[in-house]
């Protein structure tokens, strides 16, 4: 499973990219709105910080404007993937962009059949939103499992990018359900890195080593 950071915070991206575990970044208009007015600079900075894909979402509404903006976004950097929300009016636009070689991440997927339609178009990523399903008392992880089965049955090349992962069990369950990528807020990485039992084990090993009164392991 690949791991993307769901943030536009450049300091946090720099911090976690340095660990070697981050494979890409996803952004959206809400995340970008927190980083000031110069969105283009923020996005260019992120693209330069990450070797993997960076998803950038269109904000235009009409199909014609979405197509034009998608082309503009795709030219920002070689590792840009254009995010487009699922909508009937955008399907012809998505199909045209794919044919023209633009890599697409279709976002706001909430049903298996929605994912089927865009998988048929050959998009790179399809993003089911897990947490928002949970908000209406439906297990969003079920959708990921169903998508995995369907994609394998029909040989679709699109990758399942599990999104709206709000806690560690979402991430855990998405991995078991067969998502190709999880995009997570940085706070979840922080929680994994600072597990209390790991910290307790390190302290115990340190205490036992001190009992030997040795400075080096191989002396």
Instruction: Output the tens digit of pLDDT for each of the chain's 219 residues.
Output: 999 999 999 999 999 999 999 999 999 999 999 998 899 999 999 999 999 999 999 999 999 999 999 999 999 999 999 999 999 999 999 999 999 999 999 999 999 999 999 999 999 999 999 977 667 767 889 999 999 999 999 999 999 999 999 999 999 999 999 999 999 999 999 999 888 888 888 888 888 778 887 767 776
Q: What is the pLDDT of residue 108?
A: 96
- Total-model pTM: 0.92
Longest pairwise C-alpha distance within the chain: 72
Active-site annotation holder among 15, 60, 83, 214: 83
Residues 6+ apart with CB under 8 A from 145: 177, 178
Q: How far apart are CA 32 and CA 75, in angstroms?
A: 18
- Is 120 an active-site residue? no
Structure tokens at 19: 């660990």
The conformation of residue 58, written as its DSSP 8-state character, comes to -
Cα–Cα–Cα angle for 8, 156, 87, rounded to 5 degrees: 55
Q: What is the pLDDT of residue 130?
A: 92
Q: Give the start-to-end residue ranges of the domains of the chain.
A: 2-194
CATH (residue range 2-194)? 3.20.20.70
Taking 3-state DSSP, the helix, strand and coil percentages for the chain, each rounded to the nearest 5, stand at: 50, 15, 30
């Amino acid at each position: 499973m690949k791991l993307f950071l769901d943030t536009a915070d450049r300091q946090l991206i720099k911090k976690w990219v340095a660990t070697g575990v981050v494979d890409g970044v996803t952004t959206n208009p809400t995340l970008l709105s927190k980083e000031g007015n110069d969105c283009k600079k923020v996005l260019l900075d992120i693209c330069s910080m990450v070797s993997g894909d960076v998803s950038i979402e269109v904000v235009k509404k009409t199909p014609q404007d979405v197509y034009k903006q998608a082309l503009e976004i795709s030219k920002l950097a070689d590792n840009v993937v254009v995010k487009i929300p699922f909508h009937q009016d955008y399907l012809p636009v998505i199909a045209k962009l794919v044919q023209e070689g633009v890599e697409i991440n279709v976002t706001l997927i909430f049903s298996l059949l929605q994912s089927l339609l865009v998988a048929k178009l050959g998009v790179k990523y399809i993003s089911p939103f897990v947490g928002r399903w949970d908000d209406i008392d439906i297990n969003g992880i079920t959708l990921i499992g169903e998508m995995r089965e369907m994609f394998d049955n029909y040989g679709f090349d699109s990758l399942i990018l599990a999104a709206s992962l709000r806690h560690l069990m979402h991430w855990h369950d998405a991995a078991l359900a067969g998502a190709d990528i999880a995009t997570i807020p940085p706070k979840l990485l922080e929680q994994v890195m600072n597990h209390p039992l790991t910290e307790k084990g390190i302290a115990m090993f340190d205490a036992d080593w001190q009992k030997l009164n040795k400075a080096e392991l191989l002396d």
